[in-house]
Amino acid sequence: MTYHAVVVAIAVALYLMFVWWYGGKGKPLSAEEKAYFIAEFQKRVQGTGEEGLVDEAQQLMASDDGKDFVMHNCVRYRSKALYPPGHHYSDDPREADKRYGKAIIPHLLRRACMPVFIARRSGRFIDCPGVPDWHYVAMVRYRSQRDFFNFALAISDTGIDVHKWAAIEQTVVFPVKPIVSFITVRILAGGLLALATAVLITLT
């Protein structure tokens, strides 16, 4: 096999490995998995005043098709970060949110999940009465609801989420499925590998 053929074969193998890792077309949650996740969430929210999260998790599971999705987040910061007793950090909510964002990246990538869009609010246009002044929006791609719930349990177990709740006064979170999107990670990854392959072949 020639050098060029080896380079192409390696590039193809790397892309297939990426596609396998990135996934997005798995099986829906089984009844046993749903029961496990609900039981785990019930243990974690007991006595916290956040028991409503269990019902919201059940509603989300009802729409599970096993495929990837994007979670849309609207976020409003607190005026000052509010940490529980025993945590010694600054009271800047943006700094608290940055701590959370940095800490969750390994947990996201481990499950082939990643932020695809984050943007600050830059003005006003059409407002509805009672809607908060969101500070930013974020869209995060999850490989499946299975990965989303495992991620949520993992950050709860590590205590990472303390930074999130210290920073956020109010948030709205809901899943979306793209109808039209030019953010195509599989095509981007394939294009970059093809470009790298072409450069290597050209230089040799």
In order, the DSSP letters of 128-182 are -TT-----EEEEEEES-HHHHHHHHHHHHHHTTHHHHHHHEEEEEEEEE--SS-S
What tokens appear for 29 in the block? 């949650």
**CA-closest candidate to residue 168, choices 197, 135, 196:** 135
High-pLDDT (> 70) share of the chain, %: 100
Instruction: Report pLDDT digits (tens) over 128-173.
Output: 888 889 999 999 999 999 999 999 999 999 999 999 999 999 999 9
- pLDDT score at 3: 79
pTM more than 0.85: yes
Task: For 96-134, write each residue's pLDDT tens digit.
Answer: 999 999 999 999 999 999 999 999 999 988 888 888 899
Q: Would you give the DSSP letter of residue 78?
A: -
Share of the chain above pLDDT 90, in %: 73
Q: Provide the mean pLDDT of the chain.
A: 92
Q: Which CATH code fits 3-28+64-203?
A: 3.30.70.100
* Tokens 């996740």 belong to residue: 37
Q: Where are the domains of the chain?
A: 3-28+64-203, 29-63
